[in-house]
């Protein structure tokens, strides 16, 4: 059973936490508004996540029902955010900013030993930072879901609960769903093998079908890449940071996780060389540092980067203003840059960070660079992976087209 605390006391604790994290006055005003309304709704009752959910349903009924667009949608987003923040603070004693939280989590006591043991096992097994954060994030979401259902121990997990939890993933990409289910399956197996649960609850999880790469990757021409780069506003600290990051992705094809993990020791300025240990493959990769990317990094370090002791080159610029390592896919930033550059966006396609990597590979192919060299540049563990990009090399495919003999009767 989790701690008992009045709604008013929990709101006060979280408000003090937000002030300590140096949230802006505008953000604090929005949080306080929802706090006061929730306190009035709950009265002298103890907090529970279900009470927060009931408050949201009551509030949205007052607003005329839940909407996803229009003038009320942003207002509703703040209500969701504040009530979810209360649930996270109540369960973990901390706050998560999106999915890039990299601090210490105090796991609820019934889940503490099994969760910390599992994550330590994953680290010792050699998992990447990306996989570690993914596992931690999905376990956090699971605990919040179980708490909202009144379940505070893994032995309370049922097939119906796992079915409902899986339904919360509807709308995510199939590969993301598969990754989350895989992480949960490993977590539940660890719990059963180490006797934290009485039954193998991983059997309650569905097995998503294996999906081959059936979609063509999104790519940009060399001209569009330059448009994208030149559209970034480098007059602000965040713009300087994003400009340097996107240049590294466009020029070198580095994965976003490897760029954000860069430290000062990873760049040899004398040799103009950048060396990373890839998070995905755990293999080292050394590449020449392009001049424009190098100067962009220098500009960010001199004129944009907050003062911090963290060794990472790229750090956060928002609350809690501790200059902690920056963790983001930058998808939103890329989409904004595409709009500013006037590059048309096909809503049926995905324009994430990997589009820069895909574009570099495809443009190198069209400049007649062989697949094995491209594989070396991108740091593939298997050279055959580069052949994935051959499918979008339209000019190369045209050279493979066979001439078809046209019979005289067809011409007639």
**Which residues are identified as catalytic?**
255, 280, 354, 357, 380, 389
Q: What are phi and psi of 298, to 5 degrees?
A: -60, -45
Find all residues with CB under 8 Å of 229, minimum gap 6, and list them: 243, 246, 247, 250
Q: What does 85-139 look like in DSSP terms, one character per residue?
A: HHHHHHHHSS---TT---S-----HHHHHHHHHHHHHHHHHT--HHHHHHHHHHH
User: Pairing mode, if any, of strands 273-277 and 267-268?
Assistant: antiparallel
Rounded Cα–Cα distance for residues 151 and 147 (Å): 5
300 vs 326: CA distance, rounded Å: 14
CA atoms within 13 A on the CB side of 192: 13
Write down the residue that tokens 């009924």 correspond to. Answer: 61
Residue ranges of alpha helices (H) inside 149-201 are 159-167, 174-193
320: preceding bond cis by omega (within 30 degrees): yes
In terms of DSSP bridges, do strands 273-277 and 284-288 run parallel, antiparallel, or are they unpaired? Answer: antiparallel
Q: Residue 393: which region, alpha, beta or left (left: phi > 0; alpha: psi -120 to 50)?
A: beta
26-42 CB burial, b ≥16 within 10 A, e <16 = ebeebbeebbebbbeeb
Q: How far is CA 378 from CA 70, 150, 163, 254, 283, in A?
A: 42, 47, 39, 7, 11
For tokens 């979008």, what's the residue?
Answer: 392
For residue 388, what are the contacts with CB-CB under 8 A and spacing of at least 6? 213, 217
Q: Is the distance from CB of 325 to CB of 276 less than 8 angstroms?
A: no
| Residue reference for tokens 């595409």 | 338
CB count, 10 Å around CB of 120? 10
Using the structure block, give the residue that is written with the tokens 């069209």: 366
3-state secondary structure of 377: helix
């Amino acid at each position: 059973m989790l701690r008992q605390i009045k709604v008013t006391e929990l709101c006060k604790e979280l408000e003090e936490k937000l002030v300590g994290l140096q949230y802006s006055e505008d953000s604090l005003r929005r949080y306080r508004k929802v706090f006061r309304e929730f306190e009035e709704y709950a009265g002298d009752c103890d907090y529970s996540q279900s009470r927060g959910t009931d408050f949201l349903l009551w509030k949205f009924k007052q607003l005329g029902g839940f909407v996803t667009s229009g003038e009320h949608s942003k207002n509703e987003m703040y209500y969701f955010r504040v009530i979810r923040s209360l649930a996270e603070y109540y369960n973990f004693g901390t706050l998560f900013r999106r999915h890039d939280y990299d601090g210490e989590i105090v796991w609820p006591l019934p889940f503490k030993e099994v969760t910390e043991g599992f994550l330590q096992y994953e680290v010792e097994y050699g998992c990447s930072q990306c996989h570690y954060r993914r596992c931690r994030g999905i376990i956090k979401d699971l605990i919040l879901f179980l708490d909202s259902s009144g379940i505070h121990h893994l032995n309370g997990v049922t097939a119906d609960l796992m079915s409902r939890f899986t339904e919360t993933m509807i709308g995510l990409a199939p590969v993301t769903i598969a990754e989350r289910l895989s992480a949960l399956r490993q977590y539940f197996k660890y719990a059963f093998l180490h006797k934290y649960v009485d039954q193998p609850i991983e059997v309650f999880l569905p097995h998503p079908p294996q999906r081959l790469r059936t979609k063509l990757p999104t790519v940009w021409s060399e001209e569009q890449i330059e448009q994208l780069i030149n559209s970034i506003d480098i007059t602000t600290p965040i713009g300087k940071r994003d400009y340097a990051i996107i240049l590294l992705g466009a020029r070198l094809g580095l994965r976003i996780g490897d760029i954000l993990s860069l430290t000062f020791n990873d760049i040899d300025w004398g040799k103009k060389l950048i060396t990373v240990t890839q998070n995905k493959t755990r293999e080292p990769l050394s590449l020449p540092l392009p001049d424009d990317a190098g100067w962009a990094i220098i500009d960010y370090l001199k004129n944009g980067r907050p003062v911090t002791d963290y060794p990472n080159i790229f750090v956060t610029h928002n609350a809690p203003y501790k200059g902690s390592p920056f963790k983001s896919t930058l998808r939103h930033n890329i989409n904004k840059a595409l709009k500013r550059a006037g590059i048309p966006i096909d809503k049926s396609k995905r324009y994430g960070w990997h589009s820069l990597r895909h574009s570099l590979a495809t443009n190198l192919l069209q400049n007649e660079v062989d697949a094995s060299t491209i594989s070396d540049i991108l740091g593939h563990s298997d050279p055959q992976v580069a052949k994935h990009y051959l499918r979008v090399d339209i000019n190369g495919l045209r050279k493979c087209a066979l001439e078809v003999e046209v019979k005289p009767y067809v011409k007639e």
